[in-house]
Amino acid sequence: MELSVAEENYIKAIYSLSQSGKVSTNDLAQAMQTKASSATDMLKRLGEKALVNYVKYQGVSLSDAGNRVALKTIRKHRLWEVFLVNKLQFGWDEVHEIAEELEHVRSAKLTEKLAEFLGDPRFDPHGDPIPNSAGELPKHSVKTLGECKTGEQLILQRVNDGNPEFLQYLERIALHLGEKLKIKSQYTFDNSVEIERQDGSVLMLSETVTNNLYVIEQ
Amino acid sequence: MELSVAEENYIKAIYSLSQSGKVSTNDLAQAMQTKASSATDMLKRLGEKALVNYVKYQGVSLSDAGNRVALKTIRKHRLWEVFLVNKLQFGWDEVHEIAEELEHVRSAKLTEKLAEFLGDPRFDPHGDPIPNSAGELPKHSVKTLGECKTGEQLILQRVNDGNPEFLQYLERIALHLGEKLKIKSQYTFDNSVEIERQDGSVLMLSETVTNNLYVIEQ
DNA sequence: AATTATTTTTAGATTTGCCTAAAAATATAT
DNA sequence: ATATATTTTTAGGCAAATCTAAAAATAATT
Ligand SMILES: [Mn+2]
Ligand SMILES: [Mn+2]
Ligand SMILES: [Mn+2]
Ligand SMILES: [Mn+2]
């Protein structure tokens, strides 16, 4: 079953949106930067191919087959990001867009040889977990810094990789994966957070920032 | 100017066919494994984009812009082949098809970083020359073993990479790039050729084989 | 419960890339 | 030079993926 680039991208988007609840046509269209009518069209096609469970007006979810496609594509995406950063010396802010193209190269043998070449990494440069060849995801954080309480001691485990400027900002303030953080105070009027860093210095982070940083407890 | 995968593939085919004379719609359609009417359609579009010089019924040639696109795509194709063979340990018979997909990944920075990572190779695993970033091609052989005369002493410089079975055959008889060969005899009834190898052994090659081996004089 | 607002789907077009069948142009043979 | 064969283009259609505008279904308000 040969899937088009568009179909794979829709499936990835449905997978991603599913993590935070039921998926509506509107949300999907927004995620795909297209119109709701286009999303409806695609959902009908994916439904006929049994990649999604789609009932008119009732939203959509991935079938088992669709889930496998999503995980396979995500695996490829993240492996290529590791390649670009670790082998080609790209910055972590430059690789997402290129990986969006590379993830659609078909050869399964390529994926497995690439994984081996990279030493079977379990996480990509942004801390995102890489599904193994069986489609199993390593444990990873789903808790954002924004959801934590004052006083908590945390480790930065992953960051959202979609926005290059956000990644450049993290680079600028030298906030790297693995760093230990402690929440000093939280301001309810704008949901900004003050954190204490490993070196004792203090940093103010906006709500937008804390919502895109994922942490685990120290 | 964003080109589609189909457009890039047509341009590559026109480039390749141009090496051996004027390019007709029929030849192009055959090379693209499609119908003449489809080729005509595409030639009109490429003509409007000024990538080819196309006059109805008069055949086609690449414009300067088209030539640059062809060389850029060929550069990417051959660099990826080097990557697949040298870094991922693919066999030389497995890489052409995968490179046909990878060559369409857009990022120019990726191409240059990849070239650097590979040590700026000048030839791909099949001996095909890799255009540099300015689009200049290294000197390479255009003379096939089939065109040579009895008694000539030659070096195998490159082989056609399109047919995996042909490459597996060369592997089987351990005929590798760089090997020194001497033509012992030629048979006009079927254009087969007997060659003497470096180790003194003798090998019989069919016309199909000799037409796909490119040599330089020793 | 009825009205209003929002979401979702349908209807009808458009573009790219391909197809078949027919017409037109060019090349070859008598 | 005329007839025949071949090549090339045109005409008309189809599928994928998108769009806008309108209709239908669902959700939210009064
Ligand atoms: Mn990414
Ligand atoms: Mn990532
Ligand atoms: Mn090749
Ligand atoms: Mn090659």
| A109 contacts chain B (CB < 8 A) | yes
pLDDT at A97: 97
pLDDT at B141: 86
| A101 contacts chain B (CB < 8 A) | yes
CB contact under 8 A, B105 and A107: no
Report the candidate in B172, B198, B10 with the shortest Cα–Cα distance to residue B93: B172
Nearest residue in chain B measured CA to CA from A114 = B88
| Domains of chain A and any CATH numbers | 5-62 (1.10.10.10), 73-139 (1.10.10.10), 143-217 (2.30.30.90)
pLDDT at A218: 87
Is residue A20's pLDDT more than 90? no
| Segment holding B194, helix H or strand E | strand B192-196
Rounded to two decimals, what is the model's pTM?
Answer: 0.95
| A107 contacts chain B (CB < 8 A) | yes
Return the SS3 of B68: helix
Residue A124: phi and psi, rounded to 5, are -90, 180
Strand spans (E) along chain A: 52-54, 60-62, 153-159, 180-187, 192-196, 202-205, 213-217
Is residue A141's pLDDT more than 90? no
State how far the Cα of A83 lies from the Cα of A163, in Å rounded to an integer: 19
Q: How far A183 CA lies from chain B's nearest CA (Å)?
A: 39
Task: Return the ligand number nearest the Cα of A124.
Answer: 2
Are residues B55 and B40 in contact, defined by beta-carbon separation less than 8 angstroms? no
> Per-residue pLDDT tens for B62-74?
999 999 999 999 9
State how far the Cα of B62 lies from the Cα of B12, in Å rounded to an integer: 10
B53 touches strand D (CB under 7 A): no
Of residues B88, B106, B114, nearest to A114 (C-beta)? B88
State how far the Cα of B179 lies from the Cα of A141, in Å rounded to an integer: 56
Return the SS3 of B2: coil
Structure tokens at B108: 């120019």
Task: Return the ligand number nearest the Cα of A121.
Answer: 2
> Per-residue pLDDT tens for A187-218?
999 999 999 999 999 999 999 999 999 999 98
State how far the Cα of A172 lies from the Cα of B91, in Å rounded to an integer: 43
Return the SS3 of B153: strand
State how far the Cα of A103 lies from the Cα of A16, in Å rounded to an integer: 16
| Segment holding B48, helix H or strand E | helix B36-48
Q: What is the pLDDT along chain B (218 residues), one digit of tens a residue?
A: 799 999 999 999 999 999 988 999 999 999 999 999 999 999 999 999 999 999 999 999 999 999 999 999 999 999 999 999 999 999 999 999 999 999 999 999 999 999 999 999 999 999 999 999 999 999 998 899 999 999 999 999 999 998 999 999 999 999 999 999 999 999 999 999 999 999 999 999 999 999 999 999 98
Q: How far B133 CA lies from chain A's nearest CA (Å)?
A: 17
Nearest residue in chain B measured CA to CA from A118 = B88
Torsion (CA) B84, B85, B89, B91 in degrees, nearest 10: 110
C-alpha dihedral sign at B1, B37, A7, B111: negative
| CA A79 to ligand 2 center in whole angstroms | 9
Are residues B54 and B44 in contact, defined by beta-carbon separation less than 8 angstroms? yes
pLDDT at B20: 87
Residue A74: phi and psi, rounded to 5, are -65, -40
Residues of chain B positioned with their CB less than 8 A from the CB of A98 = 105, 107, 110
| pLDDT mean across residues, chain A | 96
Structure tokens at B80: 């990826």
Are residues B92 and B128 in contact, defined by beta-carbon separation less than 8 angstroms? no
State how far the Cα of A130 lies from the Cα of A115, in Å rounded to an integer: 10
| B98 contacts chain A (CB < 8 A) | yes
> Per-residue pLDDT tens for A78-137?
999 999 999 999 999 999 999 999 999 999 999 999 999 999 999 999 999 999 999 999
> Per-residue pLDDT tens for A72-84?
999 999 999 999 9
pLDDT at B43: 98
Task: Give the strands of the sheet with B180-187, arranged side by side.
Answer: B202-205, B192-196, B180-187, B153-159, B213-217
| CA B161 to ligand 3 center in whole angstroms | 5
Confidence band of A156 (pLDDT split at 50, 70, 90)? very high
| CA A82 to ligand 1 center in whole angstroms | 10
| B177 contacts chain A (CB < 8 A) | no
Structure tokens at A135: 């489609």
